[in-house]
Structure 1
């Protein structure tokens, strides 16, 4: 029996596409074709000048037009897919999204960030047959299907070498992160924090920062991050202010059997919430209880655990 075909379109952010691709290959039963987003690169100096003049005198970016043509040319070799799964659709033009919908029996989108963060999401809604969001408020507001993120690695490391681990880009979350880490250091916890900083933000790094911080300029892949996380007993999760949905970090911790400190109060509304495993940080937090820090992770039921696996996610989003 011939395998069904699935087209997967995704940005290449910290290697996260590879996590999705592997899951789709393992659990969908489909032959997966992956297209990673890329920006158009000028073929020569003449094109760069043409784009500059067009933008200056008519406000039209020829580079956007060429990028659209690049994707359409790339898609021409594909005639039919049973499924198309798109992530971050705002990075593709309307004609490209329309073409994807035409060549797929079922076009699916997963909005893995909030609509407040990416307002252009709204313009992409008409181009999909099945729409999913990780944010319960966005799902309700825009009549989308709600689905959480998932864990993809399962392990129970009983010989952790760290108490806490956190990795993120250096951004507006830094002040909150600094407060949490400062408190953990005072409570004699062994903490490791990696902050990815691009060249533009290097000058913004505080000259005086806590000893637990390490600033890196080379991104670390999602899979490598999970391996580092597995060395800690407890994981930190600091949400962005404009999102309500739970980050991947929450589910990575679940898959690895790690305790979690999170700033997202919405976590209490989920069936896996257990105060023995999850501590919610607020602006009023003055200390983290020793009863949380120094007790083991309490396993959740097998039924709930499997509910948040990557396998369950793939089967739900493709309606298998």
Structure 2
């Protein structure tokens, strides 16, 4: 079987899908449009002028041409999965679909954040991590996946709470939580990543409570970062009900979670001993939650959220 995954893999999560498929004996390939770079400085300048003068992003067009060129080299595919298909124009979807027997999509952003309704007709099947979108549009609901090996031996944490996320409007809530942690005399390490992080008020940076970085944390370093914390903080984006990758990283690392996503209660792995749900103001953090021990998730439930189970479901594999 030949399967191709197409995505803008900024955080390097999607590459795990292809690795897992290959472990299962599938001839799998990944077209990462996020890895496309301008050939030289002149191409970069040309694209900048085009965006300003013509409102046309040449780099996006070249990324999509790269998809077609790569598929031509790979040959016909049994299945092609596109992750967050709104990043590809309709005309290119038409051409990509001609290269496969089964054309499927996975949405790990909500439609409220990343509209893709105009593309629905292109796909044989659409999966989403967002419960509301699944109900409203009759998509197949599937969570993100646990791609990490299960942590076997405990690691002594340095902090009571850790957080890693992008620079966006969650920062105000993060600041509120840092104040709560200080009132409770608890330690924390919050890292916010993004090109606009330099705009953050310098007084926050001087407090050494929230670290703002332009360069993202390497994907392979994320587990070690979370292992530094007794508990992992999860803050969802606006208009999102799906479970972030933090939930599953914490699951593999056997870390408790504090989250502002109330839908986590709807999943069979939910245990109030492991998961604390914030109120809207994030004012209800309880010190007692930091004192309790992590409760093991039953093996049959844990297995449901592994990457192995995820690829078997998405690609209807019967191995």
Q: TM-score, normalised by structure 2?
A: 0.88
| Bigger mean CA deviation after superposition, 221-230 or 36-45 | 36-45
Structure 1 residue 117 and structure 2 residue 108: aligned?
no
Structure 1 residue 143 and structure 2 residue 126: aligned?
no
Unaligned runs of 5+ in 2: none
- Rounded Cα–Cα distance in structure 1 between residues aligned with 2:197 and 2:296: 40
Structure 1 residue 272 and structure 2 residue 269: aligned?
yes
Pairing 1:1-320 to 2, within 5 Å after superposition: 4-27=1-24, 29-38=25-34, 41=38, 67-119=63-115, 121-153=116-148, 154-156=150-152, 157-198=154-195, 200-209=196-205, 210-320=207-317
- Rounded Cα–Cα distance in structure 2 between residues aligned with 1:272 and 1:219: 30
Other structure's SS at 2:172 match: helix
- Rounded Cα–Cα distance in structure 2 between residues aligned with 1:47 and 1:261: 42
Other structure's SS at 1:76 match: helix
User: Residue 264 and residue 216 in structure 1: after superposition, are their counterparts in 2 closer, same or farther (change >3 A)?
Assistant: same
- Rounded Cα–Cα distance in structure 2 between residues aligned with 1:305 and 1:158: 20
User: Residue 109 and residue 225 in structure 1: after superposition, are their counterparts in 2 closer, same or farther (change >3 A)?
Assistant: same
| Bigger mean CA deviation after superposition, 133-142 or 210-219 | 210-219
User: Residue 79 and residue 274 in structure 1: after superposition, are their counterparts in 2 closer, same or farther (change >3 A)?
Assistant: same
Q: 1:194, CA displacement in angstroms? A: 0.9
Other structure's SS at 1:164 match: strand
User: Residue 216 and residue 7 in structure 1: after superposition, are their counterparts in 2 closer, same or farther (change >3 A)?
Assistant: same
User: Residue 138 and residue 207 in structure 1: after superposition, are their counterparts in 2 closer, same or farther (change >3 A)?
Assistant: same
Q: 1:80, CA displacement in angstroms? A: 1.1
Question: Are the aligned partners of 2:190 and 2:209 in contact in 1 as well (CA < 8 Å)?
Answer: yes
Q: Which has the higher contact order (CA 8 A, sep 6+)?
A: 1
- Rounded Cα–Cα distance in structure 1 between residues aligned with 2:105 and 2:269: 26
Q: 1:305, CA displacement in angstroms? A: 1.1
**How many positions carry a matched residue from both structures?**
313
Other structure's SS at 1:166 match: strand
1:95-124 per-residue CA deviation (whole Å, 9 max, x = no partner) reads 3222222221222211010001011x1122
Unaligned runs of 5+ in 1: none
Q: 1:47, CA displacement in angstroms? A: 10
Q: 1:6, CA displacement in angstroms? A: 1.0
User: Residue 54 and residue 144 in structure 1: after superposition, are their counterparts in 2 closer, same or farther (change >3 A)?
Assistant: closer
